[in-house]
Amino acid sequence: MASALITDFYELTMAQGYFLKKHNPQVVFDMFYRTNPFSGGYIIFTGLEELLTELETFSFSESDINYLKSLDFFDPSFIEYLSTYRFHGDIYAFDEGTPAFPNEPLIRVHTDLIDAQIIESFLLNKINFQSLIATKASRMVNATKGNGAIMEFGLRRAQGENGALSASRASFIGGTKSTSNTMAGKIYGIPVSGTMAHSWIMSFESEEEAFREYCRIYPDNAVLLIDTYDTLGSGIDSAIKIGLEMKKKGKKIGVRIDSGDLSYLPKVIRRRLDEAGLENATICISNDLTEEIVSQLVADSVPIDSWGIGTHLVTGGSQASLNGVYKLAAKEENGVFIPKLKVSNSYEKTTNPGIKQVYRFYDQYSMAVADLITLSDEVVPDGENIHFYHPFSTQDHFVLKKKNYSYKKALLTKKMEKGRRLYNEPDIHELQDRSIALLSSFDKSYIRQINPHIYKVSLSAKLREMKTNLIKETKERQEEN
């Protein structure tokens, strides 16, 4: 059971206010984010499937209710309501693993106001963190340019047990190939990997003995850590000796470097291995790798077969969080949904009103061209010129000529109805395959590490007109008051 106590306290104070006032209309909330992390061009939308699974059991246990009673803050009638509470709304969302962009509604929640408020913090916690880490993983995978697989080694540096599990899941969806987190392997079916630490070598009389014993026990998975004492001395010398013994048995070894100059050492070690006749021996590196370091090593043609990355992957590195938010977009009044928007002195923080859909347009080569945010009941014709309006400027717009796109796809689809999933949770390998395939449908200029092109996300003419009119009406009301 997922405890509904995983919510900010003010969600419950507001919910009680709505309950006691009998103010609980049907509403629509949007979850979106405002700016791309890592000065990048996109995110990988992640966390949805876990969110849906846990929302099915999202409720207050008996001990949760007793705790809330002990606060002496909530009315008994509201406590009684919470004792039988279950999430009962509908959810529309992007498919998990989909590349996404600022201000697009990634999740649309349809339910009553109390229900929508209670799940807000839980929803943002799930989506913001996992999307951040999946995006970081994707960027690191892109930095390798296909030169070796990334192994996620972040358990000991992650933010607690749950953070480590979420990070392992998100990293794999973003494109890593394995995890060191054994529990994540069990829960999610992620391949697990890992060989030895320096303590293994230090516990034996010599590196040669340590390597030989390890190869004896694990002849098919022997990656030898060679930097305990002297990487270019006893470390590589012992690895070569044991590697030649294993070669006679039809086996191969790998070596790992966890310190020192990671540009210079692999080049020397590759040459030493090849000269010894161990051309099929692999080289793995680790040691606080960042995407910038990975990118530079690849640019320098350093011979690396795999990467062990932990801290700067599972913590987000330079970016502490994704700035995802959850805002009221429409409220039912007299049987009709009325669009709502938050107005700000900063135009970028003025939200997009109404019940919305997002369409992604593709060219004849199935490459993404641009995204259009529309109203959900809006008809977007095929085979016609489409007007795209800038989300913040009232003047800028462009016309997507019918000759420049081949088809479009609606990105928000119904995932949950009345608190129940509409399909079984996909396998995590399917989610990884999806994220990699969908990202490949974008030109490399949008996903490059440094100074990416800005992918066009625009408003339809109808949505732009609604937003402009609502802003005007809101300001007029403020002036009257």
The pLDDT tens digits of the residues spanning 218-252 come to: 999 999 999 999 999 999 999 999 999 999 999 99
Mean per-residue pLDDT over the chain, rounded: 96
DSSP-derived secondary structure for 243-277: HHHHHHTT---EEEE-SS-TTHHHHHHHHHHHHTT
pLDDT, position 322: 97
pLDDT, position 339: 97
Q: What are the CA-CA distances from residue 122 to residues 116, 125, 131, 258, 325 (Å)?
A: 11, 5, 14, 38, 12
Looking at the DSSP bridge assignments, the partners of residue 168 are none
pLDDT, position 402: 94
Residue 347 has pLDDT above 80, yes or no: no
The pLDDT tens digits of the residues spanning 363-414 come to: 999 999 999 999 999 999 999 999 999 988 777 889 999 999 999 999 999 9
E-state strands within 169-266:
178-179, 223-225, 254-257
The pLDDT tens digits of the residues spanning 350-364 come to: 999 999 999 999 999
- HSE-up of residue 329 (Cα within 13 Å, Cβ side): 26
* Token output for 315: 């913590």
Find the mean pLDDT for residues 114-124.
98
* Token output for 76: 């008994």
Find the mean pLDDT for residues 423-430.
96
Q: Give the residue among 225, 304, 295 at the shortest CA–CA distance from 264.
A: 304
Residue 348 has pLDDT above 90, yes or no: no
The pLDDT tens digits of the residues spanning 181-206 come to: 999 999 999 999 998 999 999 999 99
Residue 346 has pLDDT above 80, yes or no: no
Residue 112 has pLDDT above 90, yes or no: yes
The pLDDT tens digits of the residues spanning 126-166 come to: 999 999 999 999 999 999 999 999 999 999 999 999 999 99
Taking residue 224's Cβ as centre, other Cβ atoms within 10 Å add up to: 27
Do 382 and 449 form a contact (C-beta atoms < 8 A)?
no
- In angstroms, the CA 337 to CA 23 distance is 15
Residue 326 has pLDDT above 80, yes or no: yes
The pLDDT tens digits of the residues spanning 59-88 come to: 999 999 999 999 999 999 999 999 999 999
Q: Give the full edge-to-edge strand order of the sheet including 386-389.
A: 397-400, 386-389, 457-459, 368-375, 356-362, 407-410
Residue 316 has pLDDT above 90, yes or no: yes
